[in-house]
Each structure stands twice: as structure tokens, then as C-alpha cells.
Amino acid sequence: MKKIDLGVLSGDILVFGGVYSNLHALDALIAQTEAMGIAPSNMICTGDVVAYCAYAEDSVARMRDLGCPVLMGNCEQQLAANGDDCGCGFADGSTCSLLSRTWYAHAKAQISDASRAWMGDLPERITFTHNGLRYGVLHGAASDVSRFVWPVTDDAVIADEIALLETQVGRVDRVLAGHSGIPMMREVGGKTWINAGAIGMPAHDGDLDTHFTIISDKSIENNLLYYNVEAAFQAMQANSLTQGYHATLKTGYWPSEETLPPEMRTQSAKG
């Protein structure tokens, strides 16, 4: 397991994940950080730079040029290994599993050898200290890069994942996670589990805007990201990525709710 420690960070920290090959969202985020005066050294990506949308290689190139710390997500792990699927943790035969075949094949065809090598060298854990608190960064969970931790996940499950993470990186006060695509913050056993959400896809809430988080000395705030949704949608159509996730950009709902816990299903998913 590759681990890196960023040392002590000061000032505001911007946390984001799930770029999902959505170059329009990534460019909007970068413009936002420039307007806020947040340097790339104070930005942390929780993984899955590449996934559903049209611009896999271009998104990786933009992230490499940006130079912020990036964690290895399951998509980076699979593409680096030239895997046959995204390793997202979808159940075999589920709608999400079937839909993933098209976008993963598109991404795999786009990604260059240089980008694949970059993905394979990303860390699986990141640690740092900010305002006297120690943070551990992972993708899905400490037990599995593709494990979903939801806003409704039992406290005991989250506590076990934090305990396992501490065996891997030492004591932490807060955990920054990705993968699920839905923003959340939970206090469990005196520790805080934070998911910034994804910038590349809506959070299955009917809102087209996506999410990132700002950690300051005084607060943790989840923020909406406004970007050119129509341009991202048109790019997916132009690349024949029309199996369902293209519609998500314009409806705010995922094409299937099978992955979600029953209590989080809205019955509003649209294909």
C-alpha cells in the first residue's frame, strides 16, 4: 500500500472527488479555486478522475497539470492494471454493472500509457495535519477501495473502518473519503467521516449542480459547483455515451438505484 504524508497544511483546503471524465466540471472547479485563492497544494482529490463522461484522457492531463495531491480510486486502480472492468463494486448483472461496460471501454481506449503509469503511481492513502487535527484520506473504505459508505451506513460499520484505517496510517481525527458520490459528514466515536461528494455527476437528488467541500480553521462546508452541464451532455452524446449517465447530467438522478440502500431510494431514477 502506497502512502504519502503531506505534513502540516494551513489555510483553506478544498476536497473533491469523482471528476468522472467531466472536463467541464473540472475546469469550473479549477476556476473556482483560482477565484478563492486556493493553491493546488491545498486541494485534495479523493479519486476516480476517470469514469462516466466523455473526456478521460483530457481530464487526467488537466489533473496532472494542476499538480494537486490525488488518491488512487478504483477506476485508476483498474485502468492502471489494464483491468477488464471499473471495479466499482456494482453487483454482477445489476443495471450499473451493465451500464459501466460502455463508459469503461471508452475510457480505456482513450487513456494513454503515460496516464496509465501516472494512475499506477498514485497513493492509496494520504495523511496530513490541519489546525491541530490529523486527517486520513481513502477512496471507498479502509477495508475495500470499492466499498460504499453512505450517509445512512451504521455507526458500527464506520467505526470499524476508522479503526482499520488507523492500523494502516496511525491515529486520525477525521477521514476524507470518496467513491459513493454523495456528500456526507458523520461523527462516530469522536471521529469525523467526511465525503465531499463528486464534481462530475449529480448526487441523485434532482439538482444538476455537483459538490465539493471546503475545510477551514472554523468549519467544514459542502459547496455546490456550477458548470456547463449542456456542454458536458453534448460531449457524451457525441461519443455515444448514451446508456443512461448522460441523462443524469440533466435530470439530477442516477440511471439506477440498485446500488443505494433502500432508505435512500427516491423512485425518481431516470434512464
Outline where DSSP puts E strands in 191-239. 191-195, 210-215, 220-225
Q: Residue 6 — φ and ψ, nearest 5°? A: -90, 0
- Cα separation, 72 vs 59, in Å, equals 15
Element (H, E) at 102: helix 95-110
From 18-27, 77-86, 111-120, the region with the lowest mean pLDDT: 77-86
Prediction pTM value: 0.92
pLDDT in tens, 218-267: 999 999 999 999 999 999 999 999 888 999 999 999 988 888 999 999 86
Element (H, E) at 232: helix 229-238
- Cα separation, 40 vs 66, in Å, equals 6
pLDDT in tens, 104-157: 888 889 999 999 999 999 999 999 999 999 999 999 999 999 999 999 999 999
What does the DSSP assignment read for 123-135? -SEEEEEETTEEE
pLDDT in tens, 100-118: 667 788 888 999 999 999 9
